Structure formats: C-alpha cells, structure tokens
Amino acid sequence: MNNLKTVGLLAFMTTLLWLVGATLFGGGGNGFVIGLVIAVGFNLVAYFFSDKLALAASRARPITEEEQPQVYAIVRRLAEQTRMPMPRIYMIDSPQPNAFATGRSPKKAAVAVTAGILQLLSFDELEGVLAHELAHVQNRDILISSIAAMIAAALTMLARMAFWFGGGDNRESPLGAIGALLSLIVAPIAAILIRLAISRTREFQADETGAEITGRPMVLASALEKISLGTARIPMNVNPATAQLFIDNPMKALRGGGGMMRLLSTHPPTEERIDRLTRMAQGIR
C-alpha cells in the first residue's frame, strides 16, 4: 500500500508539472516539452549527486572502523543479511540523536549517525535504527525522495520563470489568465505538500522493512520514542533540504508540531509510527 501510494503521488506530481508547463508556456506541445526537459534534468542531478550533496549539507565526516567498531559491526551484519554491499559510514558531530542513509543505489550507499544517537540508544535499539536506514537504501527511497523534491523544484522554477518573463498567449484570455494564476500559486504549493506526503509514506515503509530485517518491531519503536524526545529537545544545525533523509525530523526543536505543522512535516507523527510497529509486532496489519 505504501508503494502504491508513492507511485500515485509521483505520477500526480509529474502530471502537474506537464500541465503547468502547458498552461504557462502557450500550447500543450511546447509546455509539455519544457516541463519534461526540466523534470529529466533535475532528476539526473538528483540521481547522480544526491549522496554527496546530503553528506556535505549535514557536515558528515567519514569514520573508520577503529573509531566506531560497534557501528561497523552492526552495519556489516545487516548488510550481509540483506545481501547489500557494505555502505560507507559517516559521523555527524551533533548531540541530537539522529541518523540517515543516502545514495542512489546499494552500491553507492552511505549511512550517517550523530554522536548523540550513539550515546542515547542501546545496542539493540541502534541496530533497529540502522536496519531502518538500510531499508531506505534497499527500497530506493533516497532516489524516490530526490525525484519528488526535484519535480517540486522544477514546478517552482517554472512558476518563477512565468512570473518574471511572462507565459504563453493563453494568458491573454480571462480563463487563460486564471489558469496561469492558479499555476503560479497553487501548483508549487501542491507539489511541496505531495513531496512531504511521499516522504512520510517512505518513512512508514522503512519502519516496516527495518522491523522485518531485525524481526523486532518493538525495539525500533523504543528507539523512535527516545529519538523523538531528543530531536524535540536538542536543536540541530542542518540544511532543511536534507531534513527528510533523517529517521526523525532534525528541525523538530525549531518548528514544533501539531496542527498544520503535521501537514508540512517531512516525517509522520512518532506516535503513529510506534502504533504501526506495535500492531506489526502483534501480527495486525
């Protein structure tokens, strides 16, 4: 169900991009081509450079096995269990408990953990978190999220281009002008909301896959509860563009939650994630 929802949301975003291109740049043919070229260009950038950009933006540094033998041991065992290549391991020097994975494929994967998460979690809880991160890699969530983010960026770019340089001839008619106005205002907002919905859906899927890897859903639930309390209390200096990669929103301490913030969040509520893992442990889907 999570995968079907993701496919549907991505298809809707792509259709929205083409429609905006057609509305703003006069005629279905030209607008379609412009939207398609921009989408493909952004997707290629996301595909090849997402890992490097994410690691640089989060100020992650590579660490050796001598520095963190426990992390290496857990990741190596999980990688062997899931038949994945050993990912690169990085450290983020932050007291906030958090972690993320990035990379366009298992061969290009990297896992980053904060100093705070290593101090907070037990060995079993850390294993649950790292299984969650490897699940993201296994499910190609990094690529999916990057594509969604870049389509949203392309829509915003199209809207700004139309604002500064003008759109097509269809804007001269009243209906065309209304369509252009909706494209300028509504489409970028809709794209952002859909991208965030995709991010939340992929977190649910990674929770489920990670729990299946370890066979202990409640251990991951315990880790998520501790991490959520930490991220709400300890701020972290991180680029907002990379927030969706982390196991919990690293900007939670700055933004709070509830109400509209849930709709604008990169992550689902921790309570709902724990509830789903509890139901999974009880054999209820």
**Angle subtended at Cα 183 by Cα 180 and Cα 189, rounded to the nearest 5 degrees:** 155
Which residue, 246, 242, 233, is CA-closest to 98?
Answer: 246
User: Are the C-beta atoms of residues 180 and 158 closer than 8 Å to each other?
Assistant: no
Q: Is 223 exposed, middle or buried (0-12, 13-18, 19+ CB in 10 A)?
A: buried
pLDDT at 175: 45
Q: What gap in Å lies between CA 235 and CA 194, rounded to an integer?
A: 26
pTM: 0.79
pLDDT at 150: 66
pLDDT at 164: 53
Token pair 């269809």 is found at: 170
Rg (CA), the chain: 20
66 is catalytic: no
Per-residue pLDDT 10s for the chain (285 aa) are 655 666 666 666 666 666 666 665 555 455 556 656 766 676 677 667 778 878 888 899 999 999 999 999 999 999 999 999 999 999 999 999 999 998 878 888 999 999 999 999 999 999 999 999 999 999 888 777 767 766 666 666 666 665 555 555 554 555 445 555 665 666 677 777 877 888 889 999 999 999 999 999 999 999 999 999 999 999 998 888 788 889 999 988 776 555 555 667 889 999 999 999 999 999 876
pLDDT at 149: 67
Q: Which helix (H) or strand (E) holds 90?
A: strand 88-92
Choosing from 133, 172, 203, 225, the catalytic residue is: 133
